[in-house]
Amino acid sequence: MSPKYTLTYFNARGFAETARMLFALADVEYTDRRMEREEWPAIKPTTPFGQVPMLEVDDLKISQTTAIYRYLARKFGFAGATPEEDARLDMIVECIKDMLQGIMKIRYEKDEAKQAELKKDLVENTLPGQLEKMNAFVGDKQFFNGDKISYADILLFNGLPGYKFIDVEIDYGKYPALKAVQDRVAANPKIAAWIAKRPVTEM
Indicate the burial class of 111 (C-beta count within 10 angstroms; 0-12, 13-18, 19 or more): exposed
Nearest to 142 by CA among 107, 190, 188, 102: 188
Q: Is 80 exceeded by the pLDDT of residue 27? A: yes
The pLDDT value recorded for residue 1 is: 77
Q: Is 90 exceeded by the pLDDT of residue 47? A: yes
Q: Is 90 exceeded by the pLDDT of residue 138? A: yes
Separation between Cα atoms, residue 56 and residue 68, nearest integer Å = 10
Q: Give the phi and the psi of residue 21 in degrees, each rounded to 5.
A: -70, -35
Residues counted in the chain: 203
DSSP 8-state symbol, 16: G
Average pLDDT over residues 79-94: 96
The pLDDT value recorded for residue 203 is: 83
Separation between Cα atoms, residue 117 and residue 106, nearest integer Å = 9
Average pLDDT over residues 177-192: 97
The amino acid at residue 45 is: P
The pLDDT value recorded for residue 29 is: 97
Angle of helix 65-76 versus helix 17-26 axis, rounded to 10: 10
Average pLDDT over residues 52-77: 97
Q: Is 90 exceeded by the pLDDT of residue 42? A: yes
Q: Are 145 and 89 in contact (CB under 8 A)?
A: yes
The pLDDT value recorded for residue 28 is: 98
